[in-house]
Every structure is written in C-alpha cells, then in structure tokens.
Amino acid sequence: MRLALLLALGLASTAAAAASPVPLTGPLPVPGDRWQAKAHEIYQHAIETPTVEGRGQVPILAQWLADQYRAGGWSDADIHVVPYEGNPGNRTAALIVRWPAAKPSGKKPILLMAHMDVVEAKPEDWSVDPFKLIEKDGYYYGRGTSDIKEGVTAVTTALLKLRASGFKPTRDIVVLFTGDEETSGKGADLGATEWRKWTDADFALNSDGGGGGFTPDGRPLGFTLQTAEKTFSMYTFTVRNKGGHSSKPRPDNAIYQLAHALERLEAYRFTPMLNETTRAYFSVRQQGEKGPLGDAMRRWLANANDGAAADLIEADPTAIGLTRTRCVATRLLGGHADNALPQLARATINCRIMPGTEPAAIRDELERVAADPGVIVERTDNQAMSLTSPLRPDVVAAYTAAIHRRHPDSPILPEMSTGASDARPFRVAGIPVYGTDGSWGIVPDDERAHGRDERLPVRSLYDDVDHWVDMVTMLAGK
C-alpha cells in the first residue's frame, strides 16, 4: 500500500507552491555514519532475501532480523520467530520483539508494524535484478524497496539506534513483522487474536501506511496519516438455466440475464458518506483545490447529504473510492459448450466497503441492484467489517512534528485507504492503527510498488530511519 493514495494526487496547495524544492539526491549517506551503514546493511539483506510466497525465505529473513535485535541488546525471552501457514502450502513466519519499558509510566505498549513478504518479480521483466539492491541515479532499486522493506529497515534501525543511545522507553514497545500481508494476511489475523499475549497494545503504528510525495521539481504534495481502510469483501452473481441446443435460442438465456444485472451494477452508485478520516482529508485538500472539483468538495463538506457534489468528487480520478462503497465485476464464468445454451453464468464482484458498513448489508443491497429473482447474490468470504481509528491528538501531533522536522512545508492529510493492509484485523480487535511511515517518492515516477523497477530515493530511506526515531521518542519517551 506504500504511497498508494497521495501519490495519485495532483494536490497543489498554496504552501506547496511556495516551498523550496527538495533535492532528490541529498543528503546522501554520510561516510562513516554508523546508523546509515546499519540501515544499508539491513535494507540490502532484506531486499536480497526473496521473500515471495512459496520460496520459504520469510522464516530465514525473520531469523536474521531476530539476530540483529539480539546483537542490539534484546534478550531471547523478548524475541519470537513464530512459524505459521498462510495460504495452504505456504509456510511462513512472523517476528515479534518486545522492548520492555525502562521507566514504566503505566501506559499500554505501542505496536510497530511491517511485513517481510513481497510480491513476485520476474527478472526478465526488469531492467535490473529485482532481488539485488542496486543504487544508481539517487535511487535504490529492488523488489520491496518501497513496499515495504524500507519500513522493516527503518523501524529496526531506529530501535537499534535508540537502544544504543541509552533511550529509556516509558512504555513497552512491541514489533510485529508478518510474513504474508501480500497474500492471505493470516499473520495479521493471528497477531490480533492468538498472539495477543505478545501484541496487545494501546495503539499501533504501521509502516505500511502513510508516506508522502513530491513533484519532479521538488515541491511537496504532502504526507498522509492513514487512519482507515475500506473492507475488502467478495460476492457472486449467479444465474442458472436448464439450457438446451444453441440452434434453438430462447428468451431466457443465463448469460444475457447476468449481463443485464451487471449493467445495473455498473450504473449503480452507493450512498456517499463522510467519516472522521475522510472529512479531515477533504478539509485539508479543498484548501488547494480550485475550480469545480474544489467547489464540490466544499459543498459536500458543508452538506454531507449533497449527493451531487459527492458524485462530482467521485468522478475525479484522484478521488475514486473515497466518497462511498464501490463494487465492480472482476471475473466471469459462463456456458459449458460452444453449441449449447448456457446452464450457468456467474460473475465475481469485488467490493471495497466504507468502514463501519456491514458486508452482509452490502449483499442485500447488491440483491436489490440485480433486481432479478433469477440472479442469486451470495457473499463468498467472511471478512469482518473494517473500522476507522480515531484521530488521536498524540499520534497526530507526533507524526506532524516528525514530518515537519524534515519537510516543513508539507501538508498532512488523514487518509482512508481504498486497499487493505495488516491494520484491518487490529482495528476490528479494538487496537487503533495509524499508518505513519516517513518515506517519500517523486510523483508519478516512483509509483512502482508491485511493478517493474520498483525503487526508492536513497535519501528517503535515511529520512525514514530518522523519522521513526522521532516517532518512538515522542510517543514512548519522557
């Protein structure tokens, strides 16, 4: 999910227009800087361990990272490499590390999150080896450079640096790195349930959310603070028919009947809704939006029942999915022979549902959209309803201060992701989660997560380490 929403924006605020450009290549690593060297070591080892589903490399990386924490002063009792099965046949692992409070304040722990797995990358599709860390032209290249082995690296290096500096946390700090976020997400489910004895926390900070962007000439577009995700849920439209010989067509054809229901779905728009996160997001964004789009944002903020204004916002490519639940057909199955009338036609429907809306209620609404008793609408998963995390003043203040220490002109926007991450199960379990990473990229050139020649500016990695040092210091210190 790295840089998924903000980097799609052409956000042009007054502050951004007046800001000084940020050089892409500076400051680069300082020769002899111990912690930049350590970050590079961790980053390189993580990138060059191909933690793709089915290769068995996640447990190896988890054990190597565990050794870094041991060498940094953590005891074996506070380090757990936990094997588990994600998708059937995919043996993976999570790493859980606890740093007990040195000066207990009575506050519950903070949970720091990332995932170690990455999506597949085929060498023949890339201009460089995707599983070698390559540095050129001010960038690090490799699978996971931005999604999200920079998060694993920055969190780990920040904690090693803080411990070596004599930092005394006033609350326990817990690290959770899962091994299957890109596939089944089982590690996050276990983390929020069976592993709660290790992971229970006041709130979590997720490095797989947040982050920022700059235009090619260095002007800041802003940084997002992710506080919500839409619920991912799957449905089917199914039509059955007695079929027959294709030489004798009849009016009741399963494929046509399904197609008409899909046309109704294509035209349908769910009721728009604002929540705390999206209201805060559009409140910031409208300040720099001119013309009809900005006017629509201001109208909708003034009147959440102004559906026409929400429709105008939703029609803009930078705001798709931010005003309402969206459902779309993603797969089709139909017929059984070239010369036979279809006996079965089925469409798979993927829905991204607004937080706080029950997926079961969306099934009922889809049934009304299909408007045909011959179209059977079924839900095919049991995902729990996603929830929003409240905009905690302490987290908002810490994130804002950490970002502005390095990027003082960047606006901060609360974000609702249209995708999903490991945060969802924890929010469902009652632990608020905040996407608070400090890495950044150039828009649109660096939007390469899951794609060819994934990369991250060299400076961004080291900025992110310092960012996490600041976040932990402000939220677990004093």
- pLDDT band, very low/low/confident/very high, at 201 (cuts 50, 70, 90): very high
What pLDDT, on a 0 to 100 scale, did the predictor assign at position 396?
98
Mean pLDDT confidence for 365-390:
96
- pLDDT band, very low/low/confident/very high, at 218 (cuts 50, 70, 90): confident
Q: Which helix or strand (DSSP H or E) is residue 345 part of?
A: strand 344-353
Cβ-proximal residues to 141 (8 Å cutoff; 6+ apart), any chain? 128, 133, 134, 135, 453, 454, 455
- pLDDT band, very low/low/confident/very high, at 17 (cuts 50, 70, 90): very low
What pLDDT, on a 0 to 100 scale, did the predictor assign at position 30?
63
Q: 80 with 177: CB under 8 angstroms? A: no
Q: 119 with 182: CB under 8 angstroms? A: yes
pLDDT tens per residue, range 319-343: 999 999 999 999 999 999 999 999 9
What pLDDT, on a 0 to 100 scale, did the predictor assign at position 419?
85
CATH number of 6-230+386-476: 3.40.630.10
Cβ-proximal residues to 446 (8 Å cutoff; 6+ apart), any chain? 3, 7, 146, 213, 455, 456, 457
Residue 213 to residue 272: CA distance in whole angstroms:
28
pLDDT tens per residue, range 141-166: 999 999 999 999 999 999 999 999 99
CA-closest candidate to residue 473, choices 175, 73, 158: 158
| Domain ranges, ordered by start, for the chain | 6-230+386-476, 231-379
Q: What are the DSSP calls for 130-177, one per residue?
A: TTS-EEETTEEESTTTTTTHHHHHHHHHHHHHHHHTT---SS-EEEEE
What pLDDT, on a 0 to 100 scale, did the predictor assign at position 28?
57
Cβ-proximal residues to 88 (8 Å cutoff; 6+ apart), any chain? none
Residue type, 271: T
Q: Which helix or strand (DSSP H or E) is residue 436 part of?
A: strand 433-442
CA-closest candidate to residue 414, choices 228, 158, 235, 191: 228
Task: Tell me whether the CATH fold assigned to 6-230+386-476 matches the one assigned to 231-379.
Answer: no
pLDDT(243) > 60: yes
Beta bridge partners, 98, equal 174
Cβ-proximal residues to 374 (8 Å cutoff; 6+ apart), any chain? 239, 257
Residue 2 to residue 209: CA distance in whole angstroms:
6
Mean pLDDT confidence for 434-450:
94
Residue 215 to residue 441: CA distance in whole angstroms:
9
pLDDT tens per residue, range 251-284: 999 999 999 999 999 999 999 999 999 999 999 9
Q: 255 with 337: CB under 8 angstroms? A: no
- CA geometry: angle 35, 38, 43, nearest 5 deg: 125
From the candidate CATH numbers 3.40.50.1370, 3.40.50.300, 2.60.40.1180, 3.30.70.360, the one assigned to the domain spanning 231-379? 3.30.70.360
Which burial class, exposed, middle or buried, applies to 300 when counting CB atoms under 10 A from its CB (0-12, 13-18, 19+)?
buried
Residue 271 to residue 227: CA distance in whole angstroms:
21
What pLDDT, on a 0 to 100 scale, did the predictor assign at position 217?
86
pLDDT tens per residue, range 338-358: 999 999 999 999 999 999 999
Task: Retrieve residue 186's tokens.
Answer: 């089982």
- pLDDT band, very low/low/confident/very high, at 5 (cuts 50, 70, 90): very low
Q: 151 with 207: CB under 8 angstroms? A: yes
User: Which has more pLDDT, 30 or 65?
Assistant: 65
DSSP-derived 3-state class of residue 279: helix
Centroid of chain to Cα 139 = 22
